[in-house]
Amino acid sequence: MITIYENLASNTLYATTTFSTPTSYIEIGDQSWPGYGGAISEVMNGSISNVQIYNASLSQAEIAALYDEGIGGAPIDLQNLVGWWPLNGNANDYSGNDNNGVPSGVTYTSNWYSGYSAP
């Protein structure tokens, strides 16, 4: 099951008992629709920061601890960490797993959230 958390609220996106290694990329902040020539039809208008992906479920207490750390919080479970993208001026993966991103259509700002710096 893939669950996304935003401000402690969960949203289950995909439920299955079988997973495979992805053969393409993950898009964050836009949604491309097949049949439209790959054109982006929905684009997020907002900010994204501190994206973390784990290959195991986190407990509700772990989710709450990540939330309580705030925007600059470090990953809580390094053993099951697949990728960590603080998105603080680049799309580099700071987990050590070398899952660096390739930004497309990104506008970087110089006024990141106060108190937050690169790991």
pLDDT tens digits for 73-115?
Answer: 788 888 899 999 888 778 899 999 998 988 877 776 666 555 5
Whether residue 47 is contained in a domain is answered as: yes
Whether residue 112 is contained in a domain is answered as: no
Higher pLDDT among residues 48 and 53, named by residue = 53
Asked if the model's pLDDT at residue 60 lies above 80, the reply is yes
**pLDDT score recorded for residue 81:** 92
Whether residue 19 is contained in a domain is answered as: yes
Domain that holds residue 10: 2-85
Whether residue 102 is contained in a domain is answered as: no
Residue 91 has φ and ψ, to the nearest 5°, of -115, 30
Percent of the chain with pLDDT over 90: 9
Whether residue 42 is contained in a domain is answered as: yes
pTM: 0.71
**pLDDT score recorded for residue 109:** 67
Say how far apart CA 3 and CA 95 lie, in whole Å.
Answer: 20
Q: How many domains does the chain have?
A: 1
Say how far apart CA 76 and CA 66 lie, in whole Å.
Answer: 7
Give the contacts of 117 (CB within 8 A, at least 6 positions apart).
72, 88
Whether residue 104 is contained in a domain is answered as: no
Tell me how many degrees the CA angle 94-10-93 measures, rounded to the nearest 5: 10
